[in-house]
Structure 1
Amino acid sequence: MGIQAIQAETLAKKVMNQENFFILDVRNEEEFKDWKVEGKNVEIINKPYFELLEGVESIAYQIPTDKDVIVVCAKEGSSQFVADMLAEEIGGEFYYLAGGMKTWSEHLEPVKVGDLDDGGELYQFVRIGKGCLSYAVISDGEAAVVDPVRLTDAYTSFFQEKGVQLKHAIDTHLHADHISGGRKLAEMYGASYWIPSADAKEITFAYLPLEDGTTIDVGETTMDIQALYSPGHTIGSTSLIVDKKYLLTGDILFVDSIGRPDLAGKAEDWVKDLRETLYNRYANLNGELIVLPAHFSKKEELDESGLVMAPLKELYARNHGLNMEEEEAFRKKVTENLPPQPNSYETIRYTNMGTASPSEEEQTEMEIGPNRCAIS
């Protein structure tokens, strides 16, 4: 009886396993509307902390007694206080999220996508509180990581557990919603860092150009990662085809939407490239390819295994962004009435270029909130 902390890792597993539980979010209403813990079987209500300072009697009737109750706030203190009041008022066991939504934003969970033909494996790293997706390909003691986030400990722990050495760190484009961990990981392991040259014109550090047709080997089995130029989200955006089975689309194509072209101020210039990629380049690929994007926005995009993926042909059947026949309708959709741009997106771009060096605390604050790389 009483209260206890629940770690972000444990909470992430509960969400990805589609467990049934209840969340009381005590942040202010604006923060809650912008970004919250979501899951298929998650019941959640918002009651700002300042409205509960005198007690929790006003919400006691809303608190279930037949499932886990987890109180969350921005950094932990308020949720711990409210959880304690609930335990006194109602009785029973209550949880509070250790570290608050800050730790929720930063947790990465590796989930196996599948085995590769030459004996390798492919993993998706789900940053569930931020909607970021990154990937690790491992084969014969070697690894490549694709679109890694700045939270490099998750990858290094994974590599150690799997007994592999990182050989390649790859960014499919210059990210604007989160800080890349690609350069840092490459430096740690003496690995190659790859990024499309068209996105790297202002980059201040060494890189290898990820170009159309580039082949990157991982392991002695020559498990190929084949680059496919696919501009539109950025001018250099490049997709990767892994093992002739998986299409890593970066921020060009998502399971439920398509990428936005405006984060470098080039919406009108890049909308034609975006349409060309989605309606021609991708349309000519094998529809059996499994799409693995760099982001997701909705809890419904996670499957029962906690993965975000879908066959390309299925997305052409149901993804609205792939079914706008009129070019003008497409242009309006991807350039007008877009959602707010990501927090600090310009500073994040400069950081990923190497021309800005925010502190760790500043980087955390810059990334707080949902990803906003999709058009809707």
Structure 2
Amino acid sequence: MAITTITLRDMAERMTRGETFSVLDVRSRNVYQNWMIKGRSLAAVDVPYYDFQADEVNDQLLPARTCVIFLTLHDSAAQNVADRLVEKGYEVSTLLDGYTAWDEFVVESTLLVNAQVKLVQFHRLATGCLSYAFVSAHQVAVIDPIRFIEPYLAFAERENSKIETVIDTHVHTDHISGAQALLGVTRAAYLMAHREVHQTALPVTRLKRGTLRFGALDARVITLDTEGNAPGHSLLVLDRFGIFTGDALVVGEVGIPDLPGVAQEWAEKTTNTILRELQAYPDDMLIWPGHFSDVQEVSKNGMIGTTLGQIRSGARRLSVSNVLSFADHPRDFVSQLHPNSDEIMRINTGQIALEAHDAKALEREIRL
């Protein structure tokens, strides 16, 4: 049996058919933790190449009857391990374009289609970033775009519509926003949370509380006075079809306060503020977050989201005298700080420019 090559698209299609894969990563442990491949039906295993012996492979590391995917075989040690696994009867493939392919891979899922709106969600699986686009009356709005803008342009073209609005729910400090790139190829209006407009030289419109019209739909804007490196956040309630929460509410955890030493305190304050702001909405109102923290949050149909009722239920389980307490769940409910947050914020507010290859290097240092 020979070592074959597989594309990430082929992997994704096979996983939707129920196939499982073992991803064998031979990078050092700290690099693996910072940028790991993950996905439903994937079992990622990290064994640094220097831990391998040319004549020894521990079968207990890998589930039986799965295809073993190497992210790269450029190193002789990795090649030796791959050859050894083939000898032991494993189906072994190497991922075409390796880490670069995984870095740029975006999955699109349709969340809603009716006479008024079509709403899609984009997952950047390597970073856990979620972004959205919806079209109504041939007008497209993009929410929290990542730096790879081709999926949004393709969506608008398929829908025979134009991107009229780009929204960042806040200044992102964990990844490069695609807003500037989209503004460079469209005539879209750029909207961002109210307290952050003064930080940027970009052609941005101040996003205030109130109602906005998108095609045939109304959306309610809720602005939050959150703390941290990127003060200010906004929620967007799209008619009855869901609430886009950015990083303020994330499936599996609360938002990223970016306050060293007092993250727990501000996580509690932010979540309580959000729940009060949304108290008039029903439990079945859908929540569409800007990130996901665990691959198990991906549903079988590829969507990532929750309901307001589930958020409320989780808050009640953690409540003490009606005040949230995350003291016993710091890793589960408060995101880690990002080492390059200051520089990424300056990029996303137009204070400094960055070439594409620098953006990739900067993002890869982020620990999710």
TM range (shorter): 0.7 to 0.9
Indicate yes or no: 2:246 matched with 1:250. Answer: yes
Judge which range, 250-259 or 86-95, deviates more. Answer: 86-95
- Secondary structure in structure 2 of the residue aligned to 1:283: coil
1:9–1:109: 8 Å Cα contact kept in structure 2? no
1:254–1:295: 8 Å Cα contact kept in structure 2? yes
How many residues were matched structurally? Answer: 364
Seen in structure 2, the aligned counterparts of structure 1 residues 56 and 199 have a Cα distance that, compared at 3 Å, is: farther
Seen in structure 2, the aligned counterparts of structure 1 residues 250 and 16 have a Cα distance that, compared at 3 Å, is: farther
Residue aligning to 2:219: 225
Residue aligning to 1:10: 10
Paired amino acid for 2:105: H
Query: By how many angstroms is 1:87 displaced?
Result: 6.0
Indicate yes or no: 2:125 matched with 1:128. Answer: yes
Paired amino acid for 2:97: G
1:251–1:293: 8 Å Cα contact kept in structure 2? yes
Structure 2: how far apart are the matches of 1:197 and 1:305? 35
Which whole-Å deviations, capped at 9, do the CAs of 1:71-126 have from their partners, x for residues lacking one?
Answer: 125xx62497357524653356421122333432321111000124x432000001
Seen in structure 2, the aligned counterparts of structure 1 residues 278 and 309 have a Cα distance that, compared at 3 Å, is: same
2:147–2:176: 8 Å Cα contact kept in structure 1? yes
Please report the TM-score for the alignment, with normalisation by the length of structure 1. Answer: 0.85
- Secondary structure in structure 2 of the residue aligned to 1:317: helix
Indicate yes or no: 2:181 matched with 1:184. Answer: yes
Q: What are the equivalent positions in structure 2 for 1:95-174 lying under 5 Å apart?
A: 95-116=93-114, 118-174=115-171
Residue aligning to 2:69: 70
Query: By how many angstroms is 1:205 displaced?
Result: 1.5
- Secondary structure in structure 2 of the residue aligned to 1:138: strand
Q: What are the equivalent positions in structure 2 for 1:1-376 lying under 5 Å apart?
A: 1-14=1-14, 19-52=19-52, 55=54, 57-59=56-58, 62-63=61-62, 66-73=65-72, 77-78=74-75, 81=79, 84-86=82-84, 89-90=87-88, 93-116=91-114, 118-218=115-215, 222-232=216-226, 234-262=230-258, 274-318=270-314, 323-325=319-321, 327=323, 329=325, 340-368=336-364, 372=368
Query: By how many angstroms is 1:153 displaced?
Result: 1.7
Structure 1: how far apart are the matches of 2:232 and 2:138? 30
Unaligned runs of 5+ in 1: none
Which whole-Å deviations, capped at 9, do the CAs of 1:56-82 have from their partners, x for residues lacking one?
Answer: 532356555522211125xx6249735
Query: By how many angstroms is 1:208 displaced?
Result: 1.1
1:290–1:312: 8 Å Cα contact kept in structure 2? yes
Paired amino acid for 1:94: V
Query: By how many angstroms is 1:333 displaced?
Result: 7.4
- Secondary structure in structure 1 of the residue aligned to 2:151: helix
Query: By how many angstroms is 1:23 displaced?
Result: 1.8
1:257–1:319: 8 Å Cα contact kept in structure 2? no
Structure 1: how far apart are the matches of 2:242 and 2:158? 24
- Secondary structure in structure 2 of the residue aligned to 1:94: strand
Structure 2: how far apart are the matches of 1:216 and 1:27? 49
Judge which range, 263-272 or 101-110, deviates more. Answer: 263-272
1:70–1:94: 8 Å Cα contact kept in structure 2? yes
Please report the TM-score for the alignment, with normalisation by the length of structure 2. Answer: 0.86
Query: By how many angstroms is 1:175 displaced?
Result: 0.5
Seen in structure 2, the aligned counterparts of structure 1 residues 300 and 16 have a Cα distance that, compared at 3 Å, is: farther
- Secondary structure in structure 2 of the residue aligned to 1:143: strand
Structure 2: how far apart are the matches of 1:82 and 1:121? 49
Paired amino acid for 1:110: E
Structure 1: how far apart are the matches of 2:260 and 2:83? 47
Structure 2: how far apart are the matches of 1:56 and 1:142? 60
Structure 2: how far apart are the matches of 1:172 and 1:146? 7
Structure 2: how far apart are the matches of 1:123 and 1:303? 15
Provide the identity percentage.
24
2:171–2:348: 8 Å Cα contact kept in structure 1? yes
Unaligned runs of 5+ in 2: none
Paired amino acid for 1:172: T
Structure 2: how far apart are the matches of 1:176 and 1:112? 27
Structure 2: how far apart are the matches of 1:250 and 1:164? 24
Structure 1: how far apart are the matches of 2:234 and 2:335? 24
Structure 2: how far apart are the matches of 1:200 and 1:324? 36
Give RMSD over aligned pairs. 3.2
Query: By how many angstroms is 1:207 displaced?
Result: 0.9
Seen in structure 2, the aligned counterparts of structure 1 residues 183 and 71 have a Cα distance that, compared at 3 Å, is: same
Judge which range, 122-131 or 360-369, deviates more. Answer: 360-369
Seen in structure 2, the aligned counterparts of structure 1 residues 83 and 238 have a Cα distance that, compared at 3 Å, is: same
Structure 2: how far apart are the matches of 1:65 and 1:55? 21
